[in-house]
Structure 1
Amino acid sequence: MITALNHLVDIVEENLTGGSGVTGFDVTDVARTLGTTEYHLRRMFSSLAGMPLSEYVRRRRMSVAAADVVRGEQDLLSIAVRHGYGSTEAFGRAFRAVHGVSPGEVRRDGGPLRTQPQLRFRLSVEGSERMDTRIVDHPAFRLTGHAARVPLIHQGVNPHIQQHLASLPPQEHVRLKGLAETEPAGLLAVSADLDPDRAEGSELTYLHGVAVLATTTPPEDLDVIEVPAGRWAVFRVAGPYPQELQKAWAATATEWFPSNPWRLRPGPEIVAVLERADDFSTATCELWLPIEPS
């Protein structure tokens, strides 16, 4: 995976000028050439780089464009077109979003500039902490409960999810738990329809509910997510909540996937809370991630 990500960075560099679209190249074709999928490639890039692929491309493109602006050998429209923008206005908006100033100000004053260095992924020795994992082949099932669209927040408690849960009466949690029929067990926190880049603030579908058999028809007042048969990696986590869970989520990208012959496949990502303190300060959880052979 490290080799594939470095090839991806090289391809980004080759397509910083003259390209169209967000990246300037077809990520699906690149992923296929590298022997993986776009879904897995984008997820691993964002997890390890700390930013979505599209954001990295934008920062690199504007870093290279800034040098053209400072040199002053071309007019701004020519520079905009060279870097994949159809107008000086669109180029100016993208330039200001990265550097905080307009191209005209940089041409006049030489800066300030916020340069994005070219990334290079390297293998480091990690894994001193054991990851408690099992691989599960699971038949098709349904997730049912109460769903809401919420923004993705990488660190800390998500207040939008908190608000969604607080809107449910206490007896509803009891009713849901009584509907559970299959693994993942108990009450579940489900993230579905995730942006492949996992960009901070991008929207996802959050469902608070349980897993039932594929043949079960849930009550009409509940939302349903159909889950096809497939293989799952199940990570068991215990400790301060949600900090330990978020650390484990990150470690799947930095440690587990690079050292195991699996990759992510599209599907919901599920947290099963098995035990918890009354104030939810600590918990024992299972993180279910949909996988396939790499």
Structure 2
Amino acid sequence: MEWLERMNRAIDYIEANLTGEIELREAAHMACCSSYQFQRMFSFITDVTLAEYIRRRRLTLAALELQHGGAAKVIDVALKYGYESPVSFARAFHALHGITPAMARQEGIALKAYPRLSFLITIKGAEAMNYRIETKESFEVFGIEGVFRVDGGGEAPQTPAKLWEQSLANGDVKRLEACAGDLPSFVSRDLHPVHAVCSYRKTGPDTFSYMLCAFKDEGSNTDGYTSMSIPAHTWAIFPSEPHPWDQFGETIETLYKRFYTEWLPTAGYEQVDGIDFEMYGAKDGLNYIELWFAVRKV
């Protein structure tokens, strides 16, 4: 239950600072994880980004203040909730509520309210979640690295998905496959040569590292690629059911979500620095995924 307490402490901090500056590093510190890891967990658990949650909460409170605050000026409410001008506030307010800030004062006007979020354990049914815990010695990978902003901003490619799309289209993935050595003995023979590893090195509070990678051995050609040594870890490994390619996105999203919402809060483990692998394989004409999360007992 400690995991839930940490996440709720982070929400307490955010709620207490909706009219001021919210330091994501401080919220992440209360959740005992990195800024990137906190934002990533938040998105998988709630199906909304942390930035969007904060925006919705601020505009919810702003609407209440305009409706019940008597002579409160729109400009004062805008500044109170972090908007630099009445124009930007009015635009955001209309996008959420469908009306202008001035109209919010009218009696009987319809508004939207997004309540404070709390993390709880919910019993979701008896569907089994397959996993295994394995401790592995250090190993090396190499490949095509990108550093991405958590909010998807920055120069192209802006997301790991776009890096994959670009690298498949220009032949980089095929070239990486050709440079890969043999698969190590500690993975399934059904895995493909190229996988992905996320958050394996620190890049900044609002960014994360992501690499299209192959395992490195004596036969690998690593010229021109980024190499990285992955320390010895205990891994929680979650395999998917076999699926056709058009179900890939839904399958990997479900695996991540179940890890964060069902397994991690109750398993007595915590994630180590947000490190995880996406391992891709094929068997009997269908695809499968294994998600590897570096964990430790708490």
In structure 1, what is the Cα distance between the partners aligned to 2:157 and 2:198? 11
- Give 1:141 deviation, angstroms: 1.7
Unaligned stretches of 5+ in structure 1?
197-201
In structure 2, what is the Cα distance between the partners aligned to 1:59 and 1:29? 20
In structure 1, what is the Cα distance between the partners aligned to 2:109 and 2:4? 34
State the partner residue of 2:236.
Answer: 233
- Give 1:59 deviation, angstroms: 0.4
- Percent identity of the aligned residues? 21
Q: Could you tell me which of 162, 185, 195 is aligned with 1:189? A: 195
- Give 1:259 deviation, angstroms: 1.6
Unaligned stretches of 5+ in structure 2?
148-155
State the partner residue of 1:85.
Answer: 83
What SS class does the counterpart of residue 239 from structure 1 fall into?
Answer: coil
1:289 is aligned to 2:261: no
In structure 1, what is the Cα distance between the partners aligned to 2:283 and 2:165? 16
Q: How does 1:121-160 map to 2 (within 5 A)?
A: 121-126=119-124, 128-145=127-144, 150-152=157-159
In structure 2, what is the Cα distance between the partners aligned to 1:13 and 1:238? 39
8 Å contact 1:272–1:285 — kept in the other structure? yes
Q: Summarize the Cα distance change of 1:204–1:3 in structure 2 as closer, same or farther, 3 Å threshold.
A: closer
State the partner residue of 1:271.
Answer: 278
Q: Summarize the Cα distance change of 1:134–1:239 in structure 2 as closer, same or farther, 3 Å threshold.
A: same
- Give 1:60 deviation, angstroms: 0.5
1:252 is aligned to 2:250: no
Q: Summarize the Cα distance change of 1:277–1:162 in structure 2 as closer, same or farther, 3 Å threshold.
A: farther
8 Å contact 2:182–2:219 — kept in the other structure? no
8 Å contact 1:143–1:212 — kept in the other structure? yes
Q: Summarize the Cα distance change of 1:35–1:89 in structure 2 as closer, same or farther, 3 Å threshold.
A: same
Larger deviation, residues 73-82 vs 137-146? 137-146
In structure 1, what is the Cα distance between the partners aligned to 2:173 and 2:32? 48
- Give 1:171 deviation, angstroms: 6.0
Q: How many residues were matched structurally?
A: 274
Instruction: Report the AA paired with residue 7 of structure 2.
Output: L
What SS class does the counterpart of residue 289 from structure 1 fall into?
Answer: strand
What SS class does the counterpart of residue 240 from structure 2 fall into?
Answer: strand
Instruction: Report the AA paired with residue 134 of structure 1.
Output: I
Q: Summarize the Cα distance change of 1:50–1:147 in structure 2 as closer, same or farther, 3 Å threshold.
A: closer
State the partner residue of 2:43.
Answer: 46
What SS class does the counterpart of residue 292 from structure 2 fall into?
Answer: strand
- Give 1:118 deviation, angstroms: 1.9
Deviation per residue, 1:142-192 (Å, 9 max, x gap): 322586964559xxxx67734532432896365144465576664233154
Larger deviation, residues 29-38 vs 2-11? 29-38
8 Å contact 1:150–1:204 — kept in the other structure? no
In structure 1, what is the Cα distance between the partners aligned to 2:36 and 2:212? 24
TM-score using structure 2 length: 0.73
TM-score using structure 1 length: 0.74
In structure 1, what is the Cα distance between the partners aligned to 2:137 and 2:197? 18
- Give 1:61 deviation, angstroms: 0.7
- Give 1:205 deviation, angstroms: 6.5
8 Å contact 1:16–1:61 — kept in the other structure? yes
